Amino acid sequence: MTTPRFSRNYVLVITADGRNVVIKPPMQVVFEVTKSIRGGLNKMNIQITNLAESKRLSLVKDAEQRKIMPIGLSVGYQDRIELIFKGTIHTGSNSRQGPDLLTSLECLDGGEDFLHSFTARTVEGGRRAIDAALEDMPNTGTGKITDRPVLTRPKVLVGNSARLIDDMVGPGETWYIDDEQLYVIKDNEVTSRLKPVVSAATGLISTPTRDNKLVTFETLMNPTVKIGGLASLKSATAPHLDGIYRIKTIAYSGDNYGDAWKQTCTGTLAAGTKTI
């Protein structure tokens, strides 16, 4: 194993068989996390090297097993780390690669409720309909919910709770689950006023690009930049793209012993947006 990169830090917490498994450096982890406000489920694939046998075996899981194993990954530098993924393990397996034993986990944010929740009730009021479906998603909390249209008639809800929420989202709105919290926001809304600066001084890598109004930039790991939020881009090589952006997707890539410790973000100009 090579030397860990200076100042990188993470904490991985997994609950398995009724106890917490806490994994920290110098244990090697390699991960990919994809997050989006475009609906669907955020995902994480993570590989842990040379866990103790009892811990390795406790993390084995097939996709069809109804075995709930919560997992959370926080990353950053030295003593400044922030959560970038919270969810449950969808599948877990072990393998050998040369002298190393690898534990590979595929994880979903909100996956248990998305796949298995069910609602059957009649409600009144637009916001009440979403709240009712969310009540049947026991592992999902309430994030930011935009104003809902007023319903003049009772609404009958029968079916998978997450899909019912999807049916309630109107034109110009999107819903997503982030760190096991439900968000429903309009295209001109953001979830926080915070505008972290992304520049060469704060970790901007290479030159930002623009394609059909969507700007993509790559930065060293910066968990303060979040989907559904804002970022202030300042580029020395592409100053024409400087501005405040509403972040739509983030792809995190990390290896505390390798080259990867970064995130790729896409967003649109945030002119006219408001915070909910």
Q: Which two tokens stand for residue 58?
A: 């406790």
pTM as predicted: 0.94
Instruction: Look at residue 192 and tell me whether its pLDDT is greater than 50.
Output: yes
Res. 1 pLDDT band, cuts 50 70 90: very low
**Residue 86, class by beta-carbon neighbours within 10 Å (0-12 exposed, 13-18 middle, 19+ buried)?**
buried
Instruction: Look at residue 176 and tell me whether its pLDDT is greater than 90.
Output: yes
Instruction: Look at residue 257 and tell me whether its pLDDT is greater than 70.
Output: yes
Percent of the chain with pLDDT over 90: 87
The 3-state DSSP class for residue 245 equals strand
pLDDT, one tens digit per residue, over 86-97 is: 999 999 999 999
Instruction: Look at residue 113 and tell me whether its pLDDT is greater than 90.
Output: yes
pLDDT, average across residues 222-248: 97
What is the signed CA dihedral for 112, 113, 117, 123, rounded to 10 degrees? 170
Sign of the alpha-carbon dihedral angle for 249, 81, 205, 275: positive
pLDDT of residue 23: 97
Instruction: Look at residue 238 and tell me whether its pLDDT is greater than 70.
Output: yes
pLDDT of residue 5: 67
The 3-state DSSP class for residue 115 equals helix
Spatial separation of the C-alpha atoms in residues 176 and 76, rounded to whole Å: 24
Q: Which two tokens stand for residue 72?
A: 């959370």
Residue 258 dihedral angles phi and psi, to the nearest 5°: -115, -160
Q: Which two tokens stand for residue 113?
A: 């409720």
Res. 124 pLDDT band, cuts 50 70 90: confident
pLDDT, average across residues 217-230: 97
| Three-state secondary structure readout of 117-133 | CCEEEEECCHHHHHHHH
